[in-house]
Structure 1
């Protein structure tokens, strides 16, 4: 993995989860660094602690909701952050803020989601007679405490528990799982298994496509014995330095031109290049998945029979 992912943390209170993320970031091999701590309360303990630890902070004045989130967005972008971690940030994010950071905001919630979204999670768990409580890390969406789950930790409910006692133990669990989940999440763009799975989701959407291994590499082809391959994955194959999606070009002239013009995006794959197949470099921070999708479709069209491409070609005209 290249440079560390840059993370901004938003807090509203004492900042214990912020501290857990920060101290984890300073351990050898951690794939992220904390570049900003901010929030909706300029004098909260979390911001004071971050400042004492030498982390850049943005102390915003008391603002209305309409003013707060544009100010936060501006501060986070000015810090060069790529991801946002909510750590006890007690404001509901507006939809336009979330969409501006789509897939790049994480949150820690003190329940075993999807149970007990919102507030008073421990009181609700005790009232329901649950034997287990816990904490969840999830990707933030516009829906409250929704989004894909990344990690969970269970905490036993003990006889005589109060909400305060239970909350204290759940907080310990939160500190354990948040930094690990964040580290794994920011590492995904460089993880060959995750990249292969995402490419596979796109490739298998093409008509009559099927997954098939070729010479030990994951690939996708037209169904049937005579179906041709239209894409392969190459994980640092034959000396290549990158995880590649290998797709068809129109020939060697186009391949060489693309590699020369955009060497940070394309390369000539060691095994397939002689046949006019190009390597699209996937393990890079600015990867555009619409671009990947376009190449998969183009490569599929290059090998698909006319009966499959005819309707797609007609649709393209409208």
Structure 2
């Protein structure tokens, strides 16, 4: 089984969503484990539950500290515990931009509304007052703007005719306890999801000038230039031509560079069966440790090898300034 993602949970109170994550993590096939429960309140009830379940805890009050100073203390505790992801579960402090930046794309929160509706507080009553038929909850990535990060998953909860804020909150909480572990599991395993991986490659390839996508021998490929005269600079290979891996195929300067790359890092690079004799290189995307900046750099390099001179000339001029 693959190594489990290490999760640090931040709470301020009872930690019911924390408990849902803790119990979900006990399943043998759960892809994550809880390495720390941290709080800004040493008396938070959730800390006792975590301790009873054998999970390391950390607490440090925020009173008398600047937001940045307290966040730095919490950050150090999370890093010290080996956390790779931070999950907010009723953490009642607005986080500093520097803390959020440290955990970009690795911090999740759950919010009791169907975002982008009803950011902030009083979400249940606001949904009722608006006459909505459905309320619910959303798991999203945390960004500096409150409740504004990309939504990863949602669950709708029907608003009943006699609902008040408390009764609606109770049912939404049940939905939260089911949604959060599932969304977290999906997120930490996303780099094993072929659709997610392909979407990452596609986004970066199509960001290059005059690029379009066209399948080739059953594999997604990207060309630069017109629909009729464009040239391929990248392919996405998933178990293609009998190779049991997912990879990005890009052009090198030739067989010498291809050989040097494979010799330097054979776990990352290999010569693709169908294109290898032409000097193309395969960069594995299924290791769970993909460096997407590295992927983007290779796409750009391969693009420049086949792009029309009028496009590369503009880049060369821009690089001079």
TM-score by structure 1 length?
0.95
What are the Cα deviations for residues 36-84 of structure 1, in whole angstroms up to 9, with x where unaligned?
Answer: 1112112211111111101121122454223321011001111111111
Does structure 1 residue 297 correspond to structure 2 residue 303?
Answer: no
How far apart, CA to CA, are the structure 1 residues paired with 2:283 and 2:262? 10
Name the TM-score, length of structure 2 as normaliser: 0.94
Alignment match, 2:180: 178
Structure 2: segments with no counterpart, 5+ residues: none
- Residue by residue over 1:85-117, the C-alpha shift from the partner in whole angstroms, topping out at 9 and shown as x without a partner, is 111111111111111111111110111111211
* Structure 1 residue ranges, 4+ long, deviating more than 4 angstroms after superposition: none
1:29-108 map, 5 Å:
29-63=29-63, 64=65, 65-108=67-110
Q: For residues 197 and 85 of structure 1, what CA distance do their matches in structure 2 show?
A: 24
Q: Distance in 1 between matches of 2:298 and 2:248?
A: 9
Question: What is the distance in 2 between the residues matched to 1:305 and 1:62?
Answer: 58
Equivalent runs, 1:183-202 vs 2, <5 Å = 183-202=185-204
Q: 314, 317, 320: which is aligned to 1:314? A: 317
Moved more, 169-178 or 271-280: 271-280
Aligned counterparts of 2:47 and 2:246: Cα–Cα separation in 1: 39
For residues 264-317 of structure 1, what are the alpha-carbon distances to aligned partners after superposition, in whole Å with 9 as ceiling and x for unaligned? 332222322121111112223432222111110110111112122111112122
Aligned residues: 318
Residue aligning to 1:25: 25
Pairing 1:147-296 to 2, within 5 Å after superposition:
147-222=149-224, 223-296=226-299
Where do 1:120-159 residues align within 5 Å?
120-159=122-161
Q: RMSD between aligned alpha carbons?
A: 1.6
CA distance in 2, matches of 1:274, 1:34: 47
Q: Identify which range, 118-127 or 292-301, moves more after superposition.
A: 118-127
Residues 253 and 21 (structure 1 numbering): CA distance in 2 closer, same or farther, change over 3 Å? same
The 1-side partners of 2:267 and 2:44 are apart by 43
CA distance in 2, matches of 1:45, 1:13: 6
